[in-house]
């Protein structure tokens, strides 16, 4: 006997069932829809039905109706609109009583009213308990969300407390570790020009820069695709490189990589977090969401730092330009007078041993003026190229003539291997300046003397010039930043503009420059220039 007919005899129950309309429905059928007109009582003969209610934009399951149970809201028991939905989760056979049939039934069998009241009362208590649980769960979720938002506000304030890029990256990493409760992590930034991602890590007492191509490894993949990667078991992912674990003895368990996007959605970096704390827990969706929310503020801090650096460099370049302009203005006339007197002396001296000395005076005066003018032009962003075809061998001879007197004093031998003897179209004055800047750095890297080599060869319409020394070399982090203004290494003097000027000159010649260097083993600089300029 089902709950609706409890207390009735079998004959009465059979008589009532004959009043009902029989219906069969397929799984997934909405038998009753919340908000539609009520008025029916349904008895489930077979199958299963879920009672659902809309809560917070989602359908919550209030309970399950099984074989022999009844449901519905006829006018007698509720009236108005359905307060819930009923959905078949299996194929169901139903006995359906319309509102008039229900009224007739309860008039003849008052016991039915008691049965419906008992069942509806139990369901009401269950619904109240369900709603209480939902409210409590929502309270917990809301508190967690408030705590997460407060944490993000703290993180934002922290990472914006500095404008020095290395410090900003350190703060971003600290906050990312705190937000996700990760054991270790790395913040990579995207180098669009090199198509690489890079990070600075502490190796002993030195900050070392590491780089890898876009698309390589897990972080490179995230930087290239913009996908979030959450790996519960790192060693089961083919993109994971276990070499670091082998060298350090550290054990990577799980990894979370999230792209760092700025306010326009552009990927400027990658968060890589390793090993969720608290046992064997994995990173979850809340960790992903927290990092994504933090991403915009972290990216803003990075971009502010870069903007501040550019502003400082611009101000410093402006100051250098003003200084160079003052120098040129103050010394141009005296130097021109000295140069004129030197030329008169050369004509009147007539002695072979004096003429070369006078020529050297004139040469050094021109060199000094050109140097000051070059710094001035660079600081102002001005360049005027004077391309002309020159015999490369003669050009190299001029360069060596500039260098050999100074290099001889510094016990530096010059070795040359010139395999190209034809013409090259260059601005000879500016190209000499570029090579002299490189040679000056090489000399500074060989304080006790050494060897400076010049070699050249041509292939495919290109001239390749290699300039090398066996000096102290430079660390990787300096090599990568050597073309930034005001970056110097191992010098007590200097403006830090020598190599940026070299890069500018090579770019204006539509060429390329590559630097290979290793601490203690010297430096090689490779210049590649077109033999002719297509203007």
Biggest CA-to-CA distance, the chain? 145
Cα–Cα distance between 352 and 356 in angstroms, integer? 7
Can you give the pLDDT at residue 77?
Answer: 46
How far from 470 is each of 412, 451, 496, 520, CA to CA, in Å?
10, 6, 21, 8
Name, of 82-86, 434-438, 462-466, the range with top average pLDDT.
Answer: 462-466
In the chain, CATH 2.60.120.10 sits at 10-133
Q: What's the mean pLDDT when you consider all of the chain?
A: 80
Q: Can you read off the two tokens belonging to residue 113? A: 């009213």
Sheet containing strand 229-231, edge to edge, reads 206-213, 196-203, 182-191, 267-276, 255-261, 229-231
The distance from CA 266 to its chain's CA centroid, rounded to whole angstroms, is 9
Task: Say whether pLDDT at 189 is over 70.
Answer: yes
| CA-based nearest residue to 34, from 91, 73, 77, 92 | 73
pLDDT band for position 206 (cuts 50, 70, 90)? low
Beta bridge partners of 23: 94
Report the distance separating Cα 1 and Cα 17, nearest Å. 12
Taking the C-alpha atoms of residue 500 and residue 483, their distance in angstroms, rounded to an integer, is 5
Superfamily of domain 157-239+250-307: GAF domain (3.30.450.40)
Report pLDDT digits (tens) over 347-370: 776 666 677 777 777 776 766 666
pLDDT of residue 324: 58
- Sheet hosting strand 40-46, strand order edge to edge: 21-25, 92-98, 40-46, 70-72
Taken as a whole, the chain contains a residue count of: 535
Residue 304 CB neighbours (<10 A): 16
Q: Give domain 10-133's CATH architecture.
A: Sandwich (2.60)
Q: How confident is the model over 176-197, as a mean pLDDT?
A: 86
Per the structure block, which two tokens stand in for 83?
């307060």
Strand residues in 204-245 grouped as ranges (E): 206-213, 229-231
More confident residue, 135 or 46: 46
Residue-wise pLDDT tens digits, 229-287: 999 988 888 888 888 788 878 888 899 999 999 888 899 899 999 998 865 578 888 88
Residue 191 tokens read as 């180098």
Question: Whole-angstrom distance between the N-terminal and C-terminal Cα of the chain?
Answer: 99
Q: What percent of the chain has pLDDT over 90?
A: 18
| Whether residue 220 has pLDDT greater than 80 | yes
Q: What is the pLDDT of residues 83-138, one digit of tens each?
A: 888 999 999 999 898 888 888 888 888 888 888 788 777 777 777 777 777 667 76
List phi, psi (to 5°) of 161.
-85, -5
Fold classification of 383-530 (topology level): Heat Shock Protein 90 (3.30.565)
- Phi, psi angles (nearest 5°) of residue 208: -110, 140
Q: Is the pTM of this model over 0.75?
A: no
């Amino acid at each position: 006997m089902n709950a609706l007919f409890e207390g009735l005899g079998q004959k009465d129950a059979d008589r009532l069932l004959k009043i009902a309309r029989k219906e069969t429905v397929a799984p997934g059928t909405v038998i009753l829809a919340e908000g539609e007109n009520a008025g029916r009582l349904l008895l489930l003969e077979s199958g299963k039905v879920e009672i659902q209610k809309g809560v917070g934009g989602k359908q919550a399951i209030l309970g399950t109706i099984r074989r022999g149970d009844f449901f519905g809201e006829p006018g007698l028991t509720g009236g108005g609109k359905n307060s819930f939905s009923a959905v078949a989760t299996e194929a169901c056979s139903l006995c359906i009583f319309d509102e008039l049939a229900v009224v007739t039934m309860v008039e003849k069998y008052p016991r039915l009213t008691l049965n419906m009241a008992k069942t509806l009362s139990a369901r009401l208590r269950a619904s109240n308990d369900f709603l209480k649980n939902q409210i409590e769960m929502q309270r917990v979720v809301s508190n967690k969300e408030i705590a997460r938002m407060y944490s993000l506000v703290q993180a934002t304030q922290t990472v914006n407390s500095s404008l020095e890029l290395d410090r900003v990256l350190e703060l971003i990493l600290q906050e990312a570790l705190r937000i996700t409760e990760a054991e270790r992590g790395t913040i990579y930034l995207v180098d669009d020009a090199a198509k690489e991602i890079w990070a600075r890590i502490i190796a002993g007492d030195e900050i070392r820069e590491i780089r890898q191509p876009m698309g390589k490894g897990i972080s490179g993949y995230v930087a290239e695709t913009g996908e979030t990667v959450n790996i519960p078991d790192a060693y089961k992912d083919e993109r994971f490189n276990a070499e670091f674990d082998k060298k350090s003895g550290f054990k990577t368990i799980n990894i979370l990589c999230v792209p760092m996007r700025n306010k326009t959605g552009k990927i400027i970096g990658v968060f890589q977090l390793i090993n969720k704390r608290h046992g064997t827990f994995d990173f979850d969706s809340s960790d992903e969401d927290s990092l994504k929310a933090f991403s915009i503020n972290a990216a803003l801090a990075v971009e502010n730092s870069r903007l501040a650096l550019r502003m400082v460099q611009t101000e410093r370049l402006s100051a250098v330009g003003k200084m160079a302009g003052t120098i040129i203005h103050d010394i141009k006339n005296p130097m021109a007078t000295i140069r004129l007197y030197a030329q008169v002396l050369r004509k009147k001296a007539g002695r072979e041993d004096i003429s070369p000395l006078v020529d050297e005076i004139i040469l050094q005066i021109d060199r000094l003026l050109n140097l000051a003018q070059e710094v001035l032009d660079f600081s102002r962003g001005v360049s005027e190229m004077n391309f002309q075809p020159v015999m490369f061998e003669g050009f190299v001879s001029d360069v060596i003539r500039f260098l050999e007197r100074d290099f001889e004093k510094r016990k530096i031998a010059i070795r040359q291997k010139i395999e190209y003897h034809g013409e090259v179209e260059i601005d000879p004055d500016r190209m000499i300046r570029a090579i002299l800047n490189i040679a000056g750095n090489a000399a500074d890297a060989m304080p006790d003397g050494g060897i400076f080599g010049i070699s050249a060869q041509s292939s495919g319409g290109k001239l390749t010039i290699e300039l090398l020394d066996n000096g102290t070399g430079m660390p990787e982090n300096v090599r990568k930043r050597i073309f930034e203004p005001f970056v110097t290494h191992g010098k007590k003097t200097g403006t830090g503009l020598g190599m940026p000027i070299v890069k500018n000159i090579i770019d204006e010649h539509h060429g390329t420059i590559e630097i290979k260097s290793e601490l203690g083993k010297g430096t090689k600089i490779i210049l590649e220039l077109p033999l002719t300029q297509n203007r």
